[in-house]
Amino acid sequence: MRNNLSRDGEISIILILGLTAAIVVVGVGALSFSSNESLISGSFGKSSRAMAYAEAGARDALARISRNRDYTAGVYTIDISSPTGSCATVLDGCASVRVDGTTSPKIITSIGTAGTATRKIQVDASYDSNGVITNKTWMEVRESPTVSTGSATGIGDASATLNGWTNTNSNSGVLVWFRYASFLPANCNDAFGTGPVPSAGISKSASADPSSFSHAIASGLSAGTKYYYCAIASYGSSEKIYGQLFSFTTTGASVPPPAIPPTAVTVSATDINDTTSVFHATLNGLANPNGTSTTAWFRYSALLTLVCSDSFGTRVPLSGGTDIGSGVAPIAYSQFANSLEANTTYYYCAIASNSAGTSFGSILTFTTPANTFPSGMAVTSDSPPFITIYKRSGDTFTKLADPATLPTYAAYGVDFSTNDDYLAVAHSNEPYITIYKRSGDTFTKLADPAVLPGSDGYGVAFSSNATYLAVGHYSSPYITIYKRSGDTFTKLANPATPLSSRVRAVAFSSNATYLALASDSPPYLTIYERSGDTFTKLADPAVLPPNNGYGVAFSSDDTYLSVGHSVSPFITIYTHSGNTFTKLADPTILPLSTVRGTVFSSNVTYLALANHSSPFITIYKRSEDTFTKLADPAVLPPNNATAVDFSVNDLYLVIANIIRSPDITIYKRSGDTFTKLADPAILPGSAFGVKFTNQPEIEP
């Protein structure tokens, strides 16, 4: 319904009048054509001249507005063909101009007349607060009505008045209205946002001149919010005409929309393998915060689960989760699920939560591959062969053939590398540390490190990536740390802060960032932070163990650190944030004697202690930061316990003890009940250390 005539810049009225005069001369020269041709071309020439006169009038009005933004005029004329400029009697070169509107935009209506021909154009001229014209919309007005959007007025926190102009062009039945929205539509249309307002429209009388209309939005707008709106007109049965899109911003501070829950989508798991000999998988998901700060996590279980909830199976991480932010687009996130069983189908789902609620993804599944490694344990003792290695089949542990080269004397600490390729034994007499490499069921001694610990070895531990090996020993520097490259272990520089006494136990955190030591003299617990190959002592915890430390262990998620020691409470448990380790409240029921070994279950549900005196074993179950003692097993270890370990899937628990047979007591767990298994056919002798392999517990 529009013929938009876009123009750049203002052409002076003098230039336009000159061009118009040239058109008149050309029109006179056309008399040499034949009569029929002259009639046609003459009619066309008059129409063209009338359009030129209309444009000349519109540009004159634009020039006046540019000099005075408040300029309006009912009707003024420009006589282009007569020096008098009155258009009173001569209409062969006349422009009649009207300027309406007290605010932006100005509505210019210009009618050009050339003899019997007339052309009518409308220009909507928008201007800024300085009166500078910023936009001009040109249209030729023919039979249809026109509509123009005007500037909003009376803008408040929740209200505004929408304004517009229309020229019905003498058409009857013209209705006008507005639409508005807080988002920018692609163009003015009668479907976006809120509208029509008013709902019945505004009826306009037939007229040849522009007239204004408005609608007051009394309430319901949001403070500090930008709105987009436009004027719309209709006439006849269904014909609609659309004005320009304008905007305004309500006053006051914007009010954030109410928070809505996030959305969560479960994505296929990846990295399902046993490359570290501990089966694991990466759980993947998408979470959309929908504008509110959101945290996301996962749940998984080996039990058939059809509907996602935050109560089934295992939560990863155990607390907290991935910070998804507060955007409005889906964000990918992942968590590592460790210590899985081989050849097992797991059910898992994504969960996301914010202040508005919690959302759950669908249940998906993945299956771990079959186990290709044996499972078993190694036990150290003070009599030959000093190291005894067992392989498990069902609930039976069968002694393997001894390594060809044995430790040189009484052995204490023992540890498998995470991938079970290496076995380290700390013992008395040089070389103080003996390292084996495994191939199937055969353990072959490696060449000794070039630099040895220097005194009897007690505690030993591999880092989770099998890159570092720490050995606690009897004399200065009390701790020796090696870095592995292939089958070669090279001593690193000693930590800058020296120790003052024998280190009995060592433990790396699961992320290999921290190394904790239990020792014979204050502070009894020393914690180092690793950066590259440098180990730097942290500030001591505010509350320290009260006496000699014997055992130390991190939980698999690195949330907790436990220290076994002499003197009540015998066990001290810390939680940590960054580099700060904070003591938890003691368990309500304490161990009855010195704790010589401590270990968390892989799922961080249980904490088991090896005690110096009866009942020789203490087992706690964790709920958040509270550790509650379980009933003692029906059959207890026979004597002083020295070490304790859970199998990687928490199915088995073993206690080492000295002096009295059976030297090791192996339990199988069912829920919170630990039932003693039959003793191995061949026992190790007085046992000081024990460690399960790191493979999931399945049948070989």
Nearest to 277 by CA among 648, 694, 645: 694
Q: Using the predicted structure, report yes or no on whether residue 699 has a pLDDT greater than 60.
A: no
- 316-336 average pLDDT score: 94
pLDDT digits (tens, 9 = 90+) for 29-70: 222 223 333 333 445 578 888 899 999 999 999 999 999 999
Phi-psi sector, 592: left (phi>0), alpha (psi -120 to 50), beta: alpha
- For 445, the enclosing helix (H) or strand (E) is strand 442-445
Asked if 253 and 670 count as a contact pair (C-beta separation under 8 A), the reply is: no
**Amino acid, res. 340:** L
**Annotated domain spans of the chain:** 13-249, 263-367, 377-692
Asked if 426 and 432 count as a contact pair (C-beta separation under 8 A), the reply is: yes
Please provide the DSSP assignment of 542-593 as one string: SS--SS-EEEEEE-TTSSEEEEEESSTT-EEEEEEETTEEEEPPPPSS--SS
- 550-573 average pLDDT score: 97
Structure tokens at 367: 């299956």
- 647-663 average pLDDT score: 93
- 325-344 average pLDDT score: 88
- 204-222 average pLDDT score: 92
pLDDT digits (tens, 9 = 90+) for 368-401: 876 554 589 999 999 999 999 999 988 999 999 9
Q: Residue 2's pLDDT band (boundaries 50, 70, 90)? A: very low
CB atoms closer than 10 angstroms to residue 273: 12
Contacts of 299 (CB under 8 A, 6+ apart): 308, 309, 310, 312, 313, 314, 315, 316, 348, 349, 351
Q: What is the pLDDT of residue 86?
A: 59
Q: What is the pLDDT of residue 344?
A: 85
Domain range 377-692, CATH class: mainly beta
- 478-502 average pLDDT score: 96
CA distance 489 to 422: 11
Q: What is the pLDDT of residue 17?
A: 45
CA distance 362 to 266: 6
Structure tokens at 325: 């932010």
- 143 versus 645: the higher-pLDDT residue is 645
- For 517, the enclosing helix (H) or strand (E) is strand 514-519
Q: Could you name the CATH architecture of 263-367? A: Sandwich (2.60)
**Adjacent-strand bridge partners of 365:** 347
Can you give the pTM of this predicted structure? 0.53
Q: Residue 10's pLDDT band (boundaries 50, 70, 90)? A: very low
Task: Report the range of poorest mean pLDDT among 25-29, 62-66, 546-550.
Answer: 25-29
> What torsion, rounded to 10 degrees, do the Cα atoms 637, 641, 645, 651 define?
10
Structure tokens at 568: 């009540």
CB atoms closer than 10 angstroms to residue 89: 8
CA distance 661 to 553: 26
Q: Using the predicted structure, report yes or no on whether residue 294 has a pLDDT greater than 90.
A: yes
Q: What is the pLDDT of residue 27?
A: 34
CA distance 71 to 61: 9
Q: What is the pLDDT of residue 116?
A: 79
Tell me the pLDDT of the chain averaged across its residues.
88
At residue 58, the 3 state secondary structure works out as helix
Q: Using the predicted structure, report yes or no on whether residue 12 has a pLDDT greater than 60.
A: no
Asked if 596 and 610 count as a contact pair (C-beta separation under 8 A), the reply is: yes
Strand positions, DSSP E, 15-105:
73-79, 94-100
Q: What is the pLDDT of residue 118?
A: 85
At residue 353, the 3 state secondary structure works out as strand
CB atoms closer than 10 angstroms to residue 647: 25
Looking up tokens 């009005």, which residue turns up?
61
Indicate the pairing of strand 442-445 with strand 433-439: antiparallel
CA distance 415 to 655: 15
- 96-114 average pLDDT score: 90
Q: What is the pLDDT of residue 8?
A: 36
Q: What is the pLDDT of residue 85?
A: 53
What is the DSSP-derived secondary structure letter of residue 614? Answer: T
Q: What is the pLDDT of residue 343?
A: 77
Strand positions, DSSP E, 250-330:
263-273, 279-288, 294-301, 314-316, 322-325
Task: Report the range of poorest mean pLDDT among 271-275, 533-537, 613-617.
Answer: 271-275
Q: What is the pLDDT of residue 255?
A: 72
Contacts of 697 (CB under 8 A, 6+ apart): 341, 375, 392, 647, 648, 649, 651, 652
Structure tokens at 16: 């336009």
- Strands in 160-167's sheet, in edge-to-edge order, are 146-153, 160-167, 211-217
Sign of CA dihedral 217, 222, 223, 228: negative
Q: Residue 25's pLDDT band (boundaries 50, 70, 90)? A: very low
- 117-124 average pLDDT score: 89
Asked if 96 and 57 count as a contact pair (C-beta separation under 8 A), the reply is: yes
- Alpha-carbon separation of residue 119 from 2, 72, 125 (angstroms): 14, 22, 19
pLDDT digits (tens, 9 = 90+) for 168-201: 988 888 999 999 999 999 999 999 999 999 999 9
Q: Using the predicted structure, report yes or no on whether residue 146 has a pLDDT greater than 60.
A: yes
CB atoms closer than 10 angstroms to residue 545: 27
The residue count for the chain: 700
- For 644, the enclosing helix (H) or strand (E) is strand 641-646
CA distance 618 to 653: 12
Please provide the DSSP assignment of 177-229 as one string: EEEEESS--SS--SSSSEEEEEEEEEEE---SS-EEEEEEE-S-PPTT-EEEE
Q: What is the pLDDT of residue 15?
A: 41
- 36 versus 432: the higher-pLDDT residue is 432
Task: Report the range of poorest mean pLDDT among 1-5, 84-88, 149-153, 312-316.
Answer: 1-5
CA distance 658 to 642: 7
| Diameter of the chain measured on Cα atoms | 136
